[in-house]
Amino acid sequence: MDTTIDVSLLLLTEASPPKAPYPLTGGPIGAVPDDLATRLVPARWVVHEWADYWYVDPEATEVRVGSRTFTQQPAGSGNYLIRFENQLGLATIRAFDEFGQRGDAVHVEVIASKFQTPRQSVDFLQSTLAALYARIASMPFVLGASTERLVRESPAPPNPLFTYYFFVHHGAELIRAIQAVLGRPYQKLTSDPELVRPHEVRRIDRESMIRMLQAGHSSPTDNYRDTRNLSPLERLRPERVWQQIPVETFDTPENRYVLAICRWMVGAWRGLQRQVWYRGADVPDSTRARIDGAGEHLGMLTMDDRFAPLGPMVVTPTQSRVLQRKDGYRELNVLWQRFQRSREPIFEQMQNAIELRSVDKLYELWVLFELIDMIAVATDEKPVLTPEVDVFGTPVGGYRARFGARGTLRYDSTKVAYSGIWLRPDYLWKPAVGDWVVFDAKFRMDKPEESTDEETGEISYAGMVTSKNNDWQKMHTYRDGLTRVRAAVVLYPGEERKFRDTMGNRRDVEVEDLLFENLHGVGAIPLSPIRVSESDGPTLVGEDQD
């Protein structure tokens, strides 16, 4: 990682007292730099994770940071000790008394202590987001089995991040389907009842005869003619004859279905366009153009004269042969089933992490996609990603990526150790044959040793960014507590690579070696969305190189 320090953005510490009335005292705190104000809105202050801060309000009875509640220490002093533990990104501090919230909330940006400046934290966040969007745009897996069918529509709007994923992967297919539907929309032959002049009659049936007898004959003064000289048959001649006129109509259940799903997708696309991250530099212009092109085609169908006047969809025509066979309709029906996966919990997790700028959670999700990509390339299998569910079929938060008959990667799943305690590793690789491997994503590391030049006062760092010892202890817990686990490794955005087998020998291994070789032990492997090169500078992992 790039450890260059911008001295102008150094956070204030106790040795350098603040020049403004900061809302917190104690640990390092500083105002959000002007050039980062837009990026970090609504945060106005920058604080460090795992540092102790004091919030003073004698009139408050409690202080809340997110879902955590802090009480006075000591009681009655009006002092509240606040500590941001495992909480990176945007945090909100609110004070309460017996009448409710006191004053305005205080918004702070929590950064990891490994970053010396807010700029370094934002740079890593942007790099992680860009890598995450790149992974979403090129996901090697499919969501759910290809044979499953979802028929229950969700009343909730789709997740913007899922909408991004859906349009990136299926935008071209959507455009072709819309063009096919607009080119040859389905029409149904029906009849329109109408009273016509006798010379326009084309067919006389039982209903027409009954209506003529009930209607009677023409008036004697009709057309200003004297009908006294007309024969009885001529006098019974009707003015109008009831006819069923055959007509073709676009008002069919299939067209109403297509119109309804296109309106849903257009609404999701509009919601995506309102996202700040979608309009930012993290999303490439070419990707945004493809998404907007698909959205515009959907809008064309909703405004087409043949579809716009149609009424609402009352019943989903699930058994319609048109939706099963006709070009355009068939593809839209399949895409709608995939669009119904917008309730996938993993996209909710990503969206929440993006909105809160929770870089540790974003890093954990990026590692998941990186592992899936590695295994997919090594096994030459396209994995199927499905949520973990309980006995009632309700998603419980975890995921599994199945790589054909080669094995399964589980994310955020719980296992019981032989001692009876529950362990929850981030990733568990279960090959079809052999023992398991545990990976744990840790956005934690020890900084290099800091030194200050006596003449210039510049700060420099020697050594490498390494993993923490207590993370190694956790790997021993996984390795020794889960009976079938042969190796447990920390994945962290650092530099030092260490792995020791059960005999204490140090080995130089990669993630792929642990997945497909019979290695036993614990260790730490650097894995970061940023690859630092002395000649080219930082580049994203997976970025195309000329």
Angle at 413 between CA 411 and CA 416, to 5 degrees: 145
Per-residue pLDDT reduced to its tens digit, 327-364: 999 999 888 887 876 656 677 777 777 777 888 888 88
Question: What pLDDT shows up at residue 353?
Answer: 79
Three-class SS of residue 94? strand
140 vs 290, residue with greater confidence: 290
Question: What pLDDT shows up at residue 544?
Answer: 36
pLDDT band with cut points at 50, 70 and 90 for residue 157: low
pLDDT at 152 over 50: no
pLDDT band with cut points at 50, 70 and 90 for residue 143: low
Residue 370: CB partners within 8 Å, gap ≥ 6? 135, 527, 541
Average confidence (pLDDT) over 80-99: 87
Question: Cβ(479)–Cβ(521) under 8 Å?
Answer: yes
Average confidence (pLDDT) over 43-63: 89
pLDDT at 441 over 80: yes
Question: What pLDDT shows up at residue 40?
Answer: 85
Per-residue pLDDT reduced to its tens digit, 30-52: 888 888 888 788 888 999 888 88
Question: What pLDDT shows up at residue 133?
Answer: 72
pLDDT band with cut points at 50, 70 and 90 for residue 497: confident
pLDDT at 429 over 90: yes
- H or E stretch covering 261: helix 253-273
pLDDT band with cut points at 50, 70 and 90 for residue 263: very high
Residue 96: CB partners within 8 Å, gap ≥ 6? 60, 61, 62, 63, 64, 102
Question: What pLDDT shows up at residue 262?
Answer: 93
- 532 token code pair: 């630092």
- 477 token code pair: 């817990």
Question: What pLDDT shows up at residue 216?
Answer: 52
Give residue for tokens 């979403």. 136
Q: Is 144 left (phi over 0), alpha (psi -120 to 50) or beta?
A: left
Per-residue pLDDT reduced to its tens digit, 514-541: 888 888 999 888 888 865 333 333 333 3
Distance CA 350, CA 352 (A): 6
Average confidence (pLDDT) over 124-142: 70
pLDDT band with cut points at 50, 70 and 90 for residue 231: low
Average confidence (pLDDT) over 170-199: 82
- 238 token code pair: 């009707």
Set out the domains of the chain in order of their start, with CATH numbers.
7-111 (2.60.40), 132-185+257-347 (no CATH), 349-540 (no CATH)
pTM of the predicted model, to two decimals? Answer: 0.63
Question: Cβ(403)–Cβ(375) under 8 Å?
Answer: yes
Please choose, from the candidates 102, 104, 106, the residue with its C-alpha nearest in 3D space to the C-alpha of residue 59.
Answer: 102
What letters, b where the CB count within 10 A reaches 16 and e where it falls short, cover 200-210?
eeeeeeeebee
From start to end of 230-274, where are the E strands? 241-249
Question: Cβ(53)–Cβ(85) under 8 Å?
Answer: no
Per mean pLDDT, which range of 103-107, 174-178, 237-241, 257-261 is the poorest?
237-241
Question: Cβ(23)–Cβ(54) under 8 Å?
Answer: no
Per-residue pLDDT reduced to its tens digit, 461-470: 344 455 566 7
Cα of 259 vs its chain's centroid, Å: 25
Helical H segments across 109-203, by residue range = 118-137, 160-183
pLDDT band with cut points at 50, 70 and 90 for residue 446: low
Question: What pLDDT shows up at residue 301?
Answer: 94
User: In this prediction, what percent of the chain has a pLDDT beyond 70?
Assistant: 71
Question: What pLDDT shows up at residue 210?
Answer: 66
3-state secondary structure 387-410: EEECCCCCEEEEEEEEECCCEEEE
Q: Is 323 left (phi over 0), alpha (psi -120 to 50) or beta?
A: alpha
The dihedral through the CA atoms of 37, 43, 47, 49 has a sign that is negative
Question: What pLDDT shows up at residue 293?
Answer: 94
